[in-house]
Structure 1
Amino acid sequence: MAEPIIIAIPKGRILVETLPMLARVGIVPEAAFSDEDSRALRFATNDPNIGLIRVRAFDVATFVAHGAAQIGIVGSDVLDEFDYSEIYAPVDLGIGRCRLSVAEPVEMAAEDDPREWSHVRVATKYPELTRRHFAARGVQAECVKLNGAMEIAPVLGLASRIVDLVSSGRTLKENGLVEVETICEVSARLIVNRAAFKTRAAEIAPLVEAFRALVAEGAKDAA
């Protein structure tokens, strides 16, 4: 018997939006999957041929790229940061919408013009994406890699600016920061390991088509 297809799901806000989509394509996780206190990382579903793992968003791409999971759901920000050639992203799920932006202290922004930047020091967990963005503008970016708590970096003098995901902007405002430039719009994508898509097409292709049909149905309803 073949090993189950493993779908990697990110912890956090995308997880909440993903659960209804999974249910609508016929995948129902075991109860423990929704238990935030559970320390388990791998879970069964109503389909014995499909299992789930719940990991950090950045790790979803790594698991799928290396074939430890055959399918994943992850933000386009992560895909752009790693740019794994082993990953195929056939469906924009239209969930987890936000943007990746440059932000700086309000008082700095009042006298600042991004068009005049030649060198920036930035705190971010997206160093590659950030460097590429600024390089395209002829700006040298010195990136300080952080995995969280980005908003405190300017206050403590670690970096004058940050690059981070922004949804409502509330966190920035509460920390005295303001957006000054948008790098890209972000949404969650269904991703597939390219090799697995070829070798296990009979199992994976129907799942991809189910998600694609679900997104198309949602777009039709919205229209």
Structure 2
Amino acid sequence: MNDFLTIAMPKGRIFEEAVELLRKAGYKLPPEFDDSRKLILDVPEESLRFILAKPMDVATYVEHGVADVGIAGKDVLLEEERDVYELLDLKISACYLAVAGLPNTKMNDVAPRVATKYPNVAEAYFREQGEQVEIIKLNGSIELAPIIGLSDRIVDIVSTGRTMKENGLVEYERIVDVTSRLIVNPVSYRIKDGQIDELVRRLHNVVAVEEF
């Protein structure tokens, strides 16, 4: 399997858009690839192996070398700060990180609290604003936190904004735009530079055309 290039991919929306991008780049991925429930998918004719993982885990797999390259959201890369190289902005799964909360409410002056699944990003952002806040780490249903009084604000990913609106929240500040990036393990980049450079070249050509 050493001649295979192993790619870690997040499940869900990013996976679907990344597969479409790879196909446009000329990689022949079988039709059943889209609907498979397997966590490891081999495409021998392209010398590719895919590992399907949770979005937050992709950079970890790449950093530790079980995957040569990976596709990860910029939000994950900012939060995790893994030892990987970022090779290409794939311009897919566009969204952004934002501060939100209940409308017409101020931050608590004494002990402001911010709920998020991005504690490092949130802490860095508020520190840059000169605000000292208590960060509350949550793994899901972040919008619930201000509604039940757990926090003054949340920091979360916004795609369409529909979930926030349906839960009565408003956006206060936009922190950073997010797209999916192609990342690589530093050692793999030296050992499999030919395969990786070819992948980057083919994906770059597709991204450049679609952006134009």
Bucket of the pairwise TM-score, normalised by the shorter protein: over 0.9
C-alpha distance in 1, partners of 2:201/2:109? Answer: 45
Distance 1:6 1:77, change over 3 A: same
Aligned position for 2:127: 135
Aligned position for 2:25: 25
| TM-score (normalizing by structure 1) | 0.88
Q: Superposed, which structure 2 residues align to 1:81-96 within 5 Å?
A: 81-84=79-82, 86-96=83-93
Deviations 1:96-135 (A, max 9, x none): 1111001001242xxx3x7x97853111110001111111
Unmatched runs of 5 consecutive residues or more in structure 2 = none
C-alpha distance in 2, partners of 1:100/1:68? Answer: 29
Structure 1 outlier segments of 4+, above 6 Å: none
Q: Superposed, which structure 2 residues align to 1:33-182 within 5 Å?
A: 33-35=33-35, 38=37, 40-45=38-43, 47-84=45-82, 86-108=83-105, 112=106, 120-182=112-174
- Tell me which amino acid in the other structure corresponds to 1:168: T
Matched-pair identity in %: 41
Number of residue pairs aligned between Structure 1 and Structure 2: 212
SS of corresponding position for 1:54: strand
C-alpha distance in 1, partners of 2:109/2:196? Answer: 46
C-alpha distance in 2, partners of 1:107/1:8? Answer: 42
C-alpha distance in 1, partners of 2:90/2:187? Answer: 22
Contact 1:6–1:70 (Cα < 8 Å) also in 2 = yes
C-alpha distance in 1, partners of 2:161/2:89? Answer: 23
Q: Superposed, which structure 2 residues align to 1:210-221 within 5 Å?
A: 210-220=202-212
SS of corresponding position for 1:47: helix
SS of corresponding position for 2:93: coil
SS of corresponding position for 1:106: coil
SS of corresponding position for 1:20: helix
Deviations 1:140-161 (A, max 9, x none): 1211111111111112222221
Compute the displacement of 1:14 (Å). Answer: 1.3
Contact 1:7–1:51 (Cα < 8 Å) also in 2 = yes
Unmatched runs of 5 consecutive residues or more in structure 1 = none
